[in-house]
A and B are shown apart, each in its own frame.
Chain A
Amino acid sequence: DTGVSQDPRHKITKRGQNVTFRCDPISEHNRLYWYRQTLGQGPEFLTYFQNEAQLEKSRLLSDRFSAERPKGSFSTLEIQRTEQGDSAMYLCASSTVGQNTEAFFGQGTRLTVV
């Protein structure tokens, strides 16, 4: 257990539905990242926050995706009008501020869109 928790661990949804995932980072970590991982691939960066500010969004993040970190603690990732191509593992990670600090990953939310 790395101390980063994600909920739910698994989600099955019908195409077109909206889903929301939650991430609770390690409490003293200012930075929070979202990644997406498909089978046989490494994680792909989606977005990151420093405290409550969303500082970067990947071009992978379409308009259907939105992420928030309202109080600089937990974060949510919402996908609207899900598509089958959204099926993946969604990983959250957190770290302290600093160049050589490791990121701690949660166990992810596995999304299956049917």
Chain B
Amino acid sequence: GQNIDQPTEMTATEGAIVQINCTYQTSGFNGLFWYQQHAGEAPTFLSYNVLDGLEEKGRFSSFLSRSKGYSYLLLKELQMKDSASYLCAVSPYGNNRLAFGKGNQVVVIP
């Protein structure tokens, strides 16, 4: 089975940095994805990690430790539009069929 665990909600101030953690236990591992989902909208791709280490993409960075079954998404210089749910998903089998966590709701306040 697959178990993806994320905290459920956090509030942060505009301009701040927030870290969203994800731990996973899956029967296989072929990469970890982060998606952003605004209320009522489709999830949109943010990042992909398959090797240990940090991947940086503008204001967003994602880190992976395969030995610890752990990833985090770092959001810098928070903007109001970053208020959304952030979904961690693992691809256990290499066919991009994803096992998602529940998502972490980030609320950005002025």
Chain B residues 27 to 74 lying within 8 A of chain A, measured CB to CB, are 30-31, 33, 35, 41-45, 48, 50
Q: A2-B42, A2-B44, A99-B31 are in contact. Are A40 and B96 (CB under 8 A)?
A: no
A33 to B97, CA, bound (A): 7
Task: List residues of B whose CB falls within 8 A of some A CB.
Answer: 4, 8, 30-31, 33, 35, 41-45, 48, 50, 87, 89, 91, 94-103
Could you say which residues of chain B place their CB within 8 Å of the CB of A40?
8, 102-103
Q: Is A74 an interface position by the 8 A CB rule?
A: no
B100–A101 contact, CB under 8 A?
no
Could you say which residues of chain B place their CB within 8 Å of the CB of A100?
31, 48, 50
A104 to B103, CA, bound (A): 17
Could you say which residues of chain A place their CB within 8 Å of the CB of B48?
100, 102
Q: A2-B44, A108-B42 are in contact. Are A99 and B96 (CB under 8 A)?
A: yes
A44 to B89, CA, bound (A): 10
Closest to B42 in A: A105
Expressed in whole angstroms, the minimum distance between the Cβ of A98 and any Cβ of chain B is: 8
B97–A91 contact, CB under 8 A?
no
A106–B42 contact, CB under 8 A?
yes
Q: Which of B44, B87, B95 has the most CB of A within 10 A?
A: B95
Q: A2-B42, A42-B87, A42-B89 are in contact. Are A102 and B33 (CB under 8 A)?
A: yes
Q: Which 10 A-B pairs have the closest CB atoms?
A: A42-B100, A105-B42, A102-B45, A107-B42, A105-B43, A43-B100, A99-B94, A42-B103, A42-B102, A95-B96
16 contacts between A and B (CB under 8 A): A2-B42, A2-B44, A31-B95, A31-B96, A41-B102, A42-B102, A43-B100, A44-B100, A45-B97, A56-B95, A99-B31, A101-B96, A103-B45, A104-B45, A106-B42, A107-B41
A43–B43 contact, CB under 8 A?
yes
Chain A residues 73 to 95 lying within 8 A of chain B, measured CB to CB, are 91, 95
